[in-house]
Structure 1
Amino acid sequence: MGILSGNPTNEPMHYGEVFGLWTFVTTAKGLVAGYQTQLNHAGDEDLHKLLEEAIAGGKQEIQQVETLLKENGVGLSPTPPERPKACLEDIPNGARFQDPEISAALSNNIAAGLVTCSQIMGQSIREDIAMLFGQFHVQKAALGAKALRLNKEKGWLIPPPLHHHKSEDC
């Protein structure tokens, strides 16, 4: 039996795993606070539901990763306070985030989260950590598919120039 065989929860985390998990949970806390604020700005009901799903998923991820960090004696980053609810009409038009902007930011964050989950999975030597972030990856991919569908349905998706390749007959 090797040094890292057996129950992975009995194995120490290496520095890359500690840093990856700590950074992930710190970022997730900031994203949840940001999404709570964006809820106040979102006028579209479907976007509102997607933000609520992102918040719930983020809170679940935070709880799971914080538990893992605590079990391994790693100090936690501070959690921002819950954001208060505000009435959309109370936010001046020029100061409001528009629905397409919120949706684009959410889509970007989901894409970055997928990369982060893949990176943590790739650097992990503890199977429990790799499996946890594999689950997060699948959940983020599903949320990303919903965001893509919403962006298409609402006309918020701005595609880059499309490439139409025509082969020439010689």
Structure 2
Amino acid sequence: MKMSKRNIDSLRFKEVFTIWKQLGVNNGYIATNHFFFKYAVNRDLKFIILEFIQCLKEENKQLEKLLKENGVLAPPLSIDQGNLQIAKMRGKVAINDSEISAILSMNIASSLISVSQAMDMSFESSLTTKYSVFHMKYAILGAKLIELSNKKGWLLSPSST
């Protein structure tokens, strides 16, 4: 049995699976953030939501390209990605901004951890570089959300026992 030499530019199975999984998670976050945007009242929070959506879409675009180059179809996005415009949306009371902020914080942290893990298991330096850029964007976005949450009083202080 003759083994063929691995193409340096092709991704390994674990890398392909990680990218495919990341795309699916990102699509879920995009859908969730569309919901959050519609119900958020605070203008600054809406901007952070839009920035998170943009980061996710940018990451997806690059990851979909990598999958396509390796002959793998990306998971489908199951929502209508209509334009979200701050001036047209009015907040409703179904979920409040502090709840949105808390969930958004967890989602950003999850994205940060996910790209860190993907970066750690990447064999190709170009893929590691892409993940490090995503990592930095999520870290900055998380810091912005913490600052806004602190400013608005949405962070819960530790209980004094």
The TM-score with structure 1 as length reference comes to 0.82
Q: Describe the shift of the 1:162–1:73 C-alpha distance in structure 2 as closer, same or farther (beyond 3 A).
A: farther
Whole-angstrom distance in 1 between the partners of 2:38 and 2:66: 32
Residue 97 of structure 1: aligned partner: 95
- Structure 1: segments with no counterpart, 5+ residues: 164-170
Residue 134 of structure 2: aligned partner: 136
- Structure 2: segments with no counterpart, 5+ residues: none
- RMSD of Structure 2 on Structure 1 (CA): 2.1
Larger radius of gyration: 1
Residue 124 of structure 2: aligned partner: 126
Percent of matched pairs sharing the same residue: 33
Match for 1:28: what amino acid?
A: N
Residue 54 of structure 1: aligned partner: 52
Match of 2:104 among 106, 114, 119: 106
Compute the displacement of 1:87 (Å): 5.0
Q: Is the 8 Å Cα contact of residues 36 and 82 (structure 1) preserved in structure 2?
A: no
Q: Describe the shift of the 1:23–1:162 C-alpha distance in structure 2 as closer, same or farther (beyond 3 A).
A: farther
Q: How many residue pairs get matched? A: 153
Compute the displacement of 1:55 (Å): 1.0
Could you say what secondary structure the match of 2:95 adopts? Answer: coil
Whole-angstrom distance in 2 between the partners of 1:58 and 1:80: 15
Q: Describe the shift of the 1:33–1:125 C-alpha distance in structure 2 as closer, same or farther (beyond 3 A).
A: same
Q: Describe the shift of the 1:48–1:87 C-alpha distance in structure 2 as closer, same or farther (beyond 3 A).
A: closer
The TM-score with structure 2 as length reference comes to 0.86
Q: Describe the shift of the 1:75–1:101 C-alpha distance in structure 2 as closer, same or farther (beyond 3 A).
A: same
